[in-house]
Structure 1
């Protein structure tokens, strides 16, 4: 885990102050999916979904071009136990009041954490933050963005364009209250 610099800490505090609180995600809810194609690889305990992949769990959706679903091999109540989702290609994660975009994402179901990599943009209300890697804890709603991850260029948030500098810095825009 990376430590926050003295410069970035106030900015993240400002984001937390203006952003609505995220509710805890129900990670016990079933995961529904849709895709243009599915390949089951039972001996490897995985399924590969491709083409317009859409996954929904409770109020969260995850969309991507391709996704590998890993399961433990254990079956409970006739259902294989999914442990991890690996998504690639135009990844979009939407939660109430929050949207995140990246090139790649890993949803570790056991840890209840989503890690997004490559040209990450997190938009919450009028606030947009971009970087190389986002770690989203679904139990606490805590989102941490740093400049590391897959190199990338510009990315666009809702209404705001931000870029990640080659130095791996986190950049963004915070909205401010309108005053008369």
Structure 2
């Protein structure tokens, strides 16, 4: 299959799974964790142990998360620009769940990128791949077969690389027909 055609097919297959209303990325972010370390000079906080972050109707859970902020204070709160999560990452939205090894939530771009053993489920439909990108403004999700080797530089050193030749697999439920 030609690369352009396969990318179009991937987008077509993942689109029904991602059909959602627009996410309110301006909603407050509530968090909980077993531990938090604030690194003010580096403009970040590191949350560890049973991390749970909720924004509007979306919840992100992970073992560890680095919260990056700009240093700018708006309305008495620091301006968060990015969340980097690792370790059993789960993102739940209404009627949709995605799981992976790593995730990056870029609040400025309103995009979540999930990496490593990605599974996206909605109802009886499941799509598996190496990388999932969710645009929270449009609700569009694109999944590809890239795989992750190493560790995410944003969450603990090392590098993340994409291995060519990965595949996207899945199962779609079929309604009973008479």
- TM-score class, shorter-chain normalisation, is 0.7 to 0.9
Aligned to 2:32: 34
TM-score by length of 1: 0.84
Cross-structure match for 1:24: 22
In the alignment, which residue of structure 2 is the partner of 1:138?
Answer: 136
Deviation at 1:124, TM superposition (A): 1.3
2: CA distance, partners of 1:4 / 1:178: 34
Q: Which runs of 5+ in 2 are unaligned?
A: 151-163
Secondary structure at 1:43 match in 2: helix
Deviations 1:105-139 (A, max 9, x none): 00000000000000000001211001110000000
Measure the CA separation in 2 of the matches of 1:139 and 1:63.
21
Query: 1:158 aligns to what?
Result: none
| 1:56-99, Cα deviation, whole Å (9 max, x unpaired) | 00000000000000000000121000000000000000000110
User: Structure 2-normalised TM-score?
Assistant: 0.85
> Would the alpha carbon gap of residues 11 and 103 (structure 1) be closer, same or farther in structure 2, given more than 3 Å must change?
closer
Q: Does 1:13 align with 2:12?
A: yes
Residues 146 and 14 of structure 1: CA distance in aligned 2, closer, same or farther (over 3 Å): closer
**1:149 aligned to 2:147?**
yes
In the TM superposition, what are the counterparts of 1:28-67 in structure 2 within 5 Å?
28-67=26-65
Secondary structure, counterpart of 1:150 in structure 2 = strand
For this pair of structures, how many residues does the alignment match?
164
Match in the other structure for 1:155? none
Q: Distance in 1 between matches of 2:95 and 2:69?
A: 30
In 2, distance between residues paired with 1:44 and 1:179? 59
Match of 2:173 in 1: 175
Q: Which residue in 2 is equivalent to 1:160?
A: none
Unmatched segments (≥5 aa) in structure 1: 153-165
1-structure distance, mates of 2:42, 2:10 = 44
